Structure 1
Amino acid sequence: MLTTISWIALSIGLICTIIIAIDIIRHPQMMKIMNVVWPINGWFFGPFAVWAYYKWGRLKAKDADEEDDRKKTAKVFVSTSHCAGGCTFGDIVGVPIVAMTGIAVAGSTLFAHYLVEFILAYLFGIAFQFFAIYPMNKGQGVIQSFKASIKADTLSVITFQIGMFGWMAIVHYLLFTQPPKPHEPTYWFMMQIAMIIGFLVSYPPNWWLVRKGIKEAM
């Protein structure tokens, strides 16, 4: 039953990613990196991501003719989505690296996933933030934009990964006698849930970062 549910959830996520991607091809975002972020978020947030994209994302398309009347809650949601996109991409890249190399940390494959995926999530998270900041502030240069990206997204990435890793620990130690493997659909269904939890955990820090002016509301 869980395998069937996993296939359904993964299929819905893929369909939602395709729906968003097709519309973005027709209506590209003003901020280019969001052309990547929205489809990635469609994979784990499913229909909710499609709804959020059409309600809030489309307002920032190059050809948008509607007034941007989004409230702060929505803008912080998009900022969190931006961080989640980078983290998710890094995590997805990290999983096969650990699976194919068979590396372990302190004798644990889970800890190896934590290490590799955190490093990649951080790198891609900062890169996604850089590609949001630099185009708007080319006058300040690459180095300053890179520093601003680290300042804006470090807390966000860390809290996202904490939420995600917490769920992974529950899956690994509590929910299964034999944790699912990366070649099984259940593993990726659990990862979808992990991304949602990571998003929810990182939303309050993103709100704080925006309120303090450390991070721009998107």
Structure 2
Amino acid sequence: MLHNSDIPGWLLIVASISLALGVACAVLVAADIARHPQPMRVMNVVWPVCALFGSVLWAAAYFWWGRAQRPTAADDAQDMSGMDMSGMDTSGTDMPGMKMSSSDTSGTGMPGMDMSSSDMGGMDMPGMDMRPALGLSGRPHSRPVSVFVGTSHCGAGCSLADLIVEWTIFAVPSVAVVGGLHWLFSDELYAGWVIAYVVALIIGIAFQFFAIAPMNPQRGVAANVAAAAKADVLSLSAWQIGMYGAMAVAQLAVFPAWLGDRVAVDTPVFWLTMQVAMLAGFCTAYPVNWWLIRAGVKEAM
């Protein structure tokens, strides 16, 4: 296994610059999200995580397509402009996001209230805002952009899983036994991939759940978890195929032939390779996400 002292200096510099740029982009995106929270809350995590490997490209995508607009008092007033609440008494009635005065809500109907032309942007749906995040472009997402965002959503779970698993196995090598080391594989690399895939599934399904549950509260938790798994398993598997494939080429062929061995996890070159592998994963997952969204299996973003 190659460590920093075994790797050409120029390659370490290139890798370090690429990693620093990715971290800087992630921090920039996270700082902007703090001031412009995403309508779909899980995207508050997705965009910065994707910037770690996507660097400038994903930061630009966030600002152009994904940045949310900060709600203003004028926006809230416009959201309620379509409601006629005259003659209604809502004393004792609590409707979050709505202010109603002097109306009568006795009975099953709500006389005096006209909601046909209203925009319910003032109401609160947990985990979701009614204003879409359209970025600086200000335009609704086209199918290619929607698929880009959906694929990034999938990739964030994979990225987090690999960060967690690679460093965990590096710190505690015996963890690899859980993935099959010594009883299924003789190589720690494959055992790590097994663990990373399982962890990615758990994180990915959780991310998918928090994306679709606010849009489908009537289905209940169990049904939304099942829908999240249905939407994410194929997408995540496609991502991991591309990512693992790229890592395999690098660690099993390129580095041994070029430098004499694989590069260790604690080197910048390993994580530069992971950045490239994540981009490969995006490429293999993009067409799968296109099909899933077109088929209605996965929600468009």
Q: TM-score range by the shorter chain?
A: over 0.9
Shift of 1:62: 5.5
Higher mean alpha-carbon deviation, 194-203 vs 97-106, is at 97-106
Once the two structures are superposed, what CA deviation does each residue of 1:47-98 show, in whole Å capped at 9, x if it has no partner?
A: 101110011101x455369754221100110000100111111111111122
Q: TM-score w.r.t. structure 1 length? A: 0.95
Q: What residue identity is the alignment partner of 2:263?
A: P
Match of 1:119 in 2: 198
Q: What residue identity is the alignment partner of 2:54?
A: F
Once the two structures are superposed, what CA deviation does each residue of 1:32-61 show, in whole Å capped at 9, x if it has no partner?
A: 000000000110001101110011101x45
Q: Is the 8 A contact 1:30 1:62 kept in 2?
A: no
Q: What residue identity is the alignment partner of 2:32?
A: D
Alpha-carbon distance between aligned partners in 1 of 2:26 and 2:166, rounded to the nearest angstrom: 20
Does 1:165 find its partner at 2:244? yes
Ranges in structure 2 where 5+ consecutive residues have no aligned partner: 1-9, 72-130
Aligned ranges 1:101-120 → 2 under 5 Å:
101-102=172-173, 103=176, 104=181, 105-120=184-199
Ranges in structure 1 where 5+ consecutive residues have no aligned partner: none
Match of 1:22 in 2: 31
Identical pairs, percent: 40
Select the residue among 264, 267, 279 that pairs with 1:181: 264
Alpha-carbon distance between aligned partners in 2 of 1:113 and 1:72, rounded to the nearest angstrom: 35
Match of 2:159 in 1: 88
Select the residue among 105, 120, 134 that pairs with 2:213: 134
Does 1:75 find its partner at 2:146? yes
Alpha-carbon distance between aligned partners in 2 of 1:14 and 1:83, rounded to the nearest angstrom: 20
Alpha-carbon distance between aligned partners in 2 of 1:44 and 1:124, rounded to the nearest angstrom: 18
Consecutive aligned runs of 4 or more in structure 1 exceeding 4 Å deviation: 64-67
Q: Is the 8 A contact 1:98 1:112 kept in 2?
A: no
Match of 2:291 in 1: 208
Q: Give the structure with higher Rg (CA).
A: 2
Alpha-carbon distance between aligned partners in 2 of 1:62 and 1:156, rounded to the nearest angstrom: 31
Distance 1:54 1:4, change over 3 A: same
Shift of 1:137: 1.5
Match of 1:97 in 2: 168
Alpha-carbon distance between aligned partners in 1 of 2:300 and 2:40, rounded to the nearest angstrom: 13
Alpha-carbon distance between aligned partners in 2 of 1:10 and 1:114, rounded to the nearest angstrom: 22
Aligned ranges 1:146-165 → 2 under 5 Å:
146-165=225-244
Alpha-carbon distance between aligned partners in 1 of 2:273 and 2:237, rounded to the nearest angstrom: 20
Q: What residue identity is the alignment partner of 1:142?
A: V
Match of 2:78 in 1: none
CA RMSD of aligned residues (A): 1.5
Which one has the bigger helix percentage? Answer: 1
Once the two structures are superposed, what CA deviation does each residue of 1:148-198 show, in whole Å capped at 9, x if it has no partner?
A: 001111110000000000011111111112111111111111111111110
Alpha-carbon distance between aligned partners in 1 of 2:51 and 2:246, rounded to the nearest angstrom: 20
Higher mean alpha-carbon deviation, 78-87 vs 169-178, is at 169-178
Q: Is the 8 A contact 1:20 1:38 kept in 2?
A: yes
Once the two structures are superposed, what CA deviation does each residue of 1:78-132 show, in whole Å capped at 9, x if it has no partner?
A: 0001001111111111111222232335110110121111111111111100111
Q: Secondary structure at the match of 1:46?
A: helix
Match of 2:119 in 1: none
Q: TM-score w.r.t. structure 2 length? A: 0.70
